Amino acid sequence: MARKPLLHYFNGRGRMESIRWLLAAAGEEFDEKFIESAEDLNKLRNDGSLMFQQVPMVEIDGMKLVQTRAILNYIADKHNLYGKDMKERALIDMYTEGMADLDGLILHHSFSSPEEKEKSLPPIKEKARNRYFPAFEKVLKSHGQDYLVGNKLSKADILLVEQLYNMEELDPTILSSFPQLKALKTRVSSLPTVKKFLQPGSQRKPPVDEKCIEEAKKIFF
């Protein structure tokens, strides 16, 4: 039996959460080995497991993959979630890169102090409402299909739905003006693999809290 992918990261969302989402949506079970101390991280560095000395790292199919986008691309390609040709792949990459811009803002916000959070939240909500979400709403409306590219589920749909959930945690009304995005969220969330991942007790991680921030600081700083 093939070994399950093994995810190396701290016990929180961070940059690994999108990888968890994609694996779960693809129906590929995975194990996790949490980095709980600076010593754990240094061990991975010293044994040569981390090419660029940083995580996330995923052991999959005999490889030790680092760099979030490379990991996501491999999983998507493996599970036929990366389009049928070069044009579809280019669109999927373009949409995913757009999401990455907003994801970076959300990630920084998650690990900020309460004072910084108060300052950073309004511009995040403004960019989501006026730049990123309208763009994806327009794509879905323009072709009237169920998914962003080729009317077939791709990594772009999965990562966008993850982002929609994250933004709704920051502002429950954020999707009120985006019916196409709400429909996509419902559609993807109803897929059996995703529905399972969204259930309590799954490997989906909760929102970052103060304990998680402190643990991450001890490991990485």
Average pLDDT over the chain reads: 94
Taking residues 166-178, report their average pLDDT.
Answer: 96
Angle at which helix 17-26 crosses helix 155-170, to 10 degrees, equals 130
Percent of the chain predicted with pLDDT > 90: 86
Q: How many CB atoms lie within 10 A of CB 88?
A: 17
**Nearest-5° angle of CA 150, CA 153, CA 155?**
105
- What pLDDT shows up at residue 62? 96
**Region 6-79+197-211: CATH code:** 3.40.30.10
DSSP state of 2: P
Task: Tell which wins on pLDDT, 83 or 217.
Answer: 83
In the numeric block, the tokens 């910084």 are attached to 116
Domain parsing of the chain, residue ranges: 6-79+197-211, 86-190
**d(C-alpha 37, C-alpha 50), whole Å:** 16
In the beta sheet, which residues pair with residue 103? none
User: Which percentage of the chain shows pLDDT scores above 70?
Assistant: 99
According to the model, what pLDDT value does residue 212 have? 79
**Average pLDDT, integer, range 156-162:** 98
- Is the model's pLDDT at 157 over the cut of 80? yes
Q: Tell the CATH topology of 86-190.
A: Glutathione S-transferase Yfyf (Class Pi); Chain A, domain 2 (1.20.1050)
Look up residue 28 and give its amino acid. E
- Amino acid (1-letter code) at residue 88: E
Nearest Cα residue to 195 out of 182, 184, 186: 186
- Residue 122, pLDDT > 90, answer yes
According to DSSP, residue 206 is labeled P
pLDDT score, position 210: 76
Query: Quick check: do 6-79+197-211 and 86-190 share a fold?
Result: no
CA distance 23 to 41: 23
- Residue 1: the pLDDT is 56
**pLDDT tens per residue across span 103-120:** 999 988 888 888 888 999
Segment 116-140 mean pLDDT: 95
Is pLDDT of 218 > 90? no
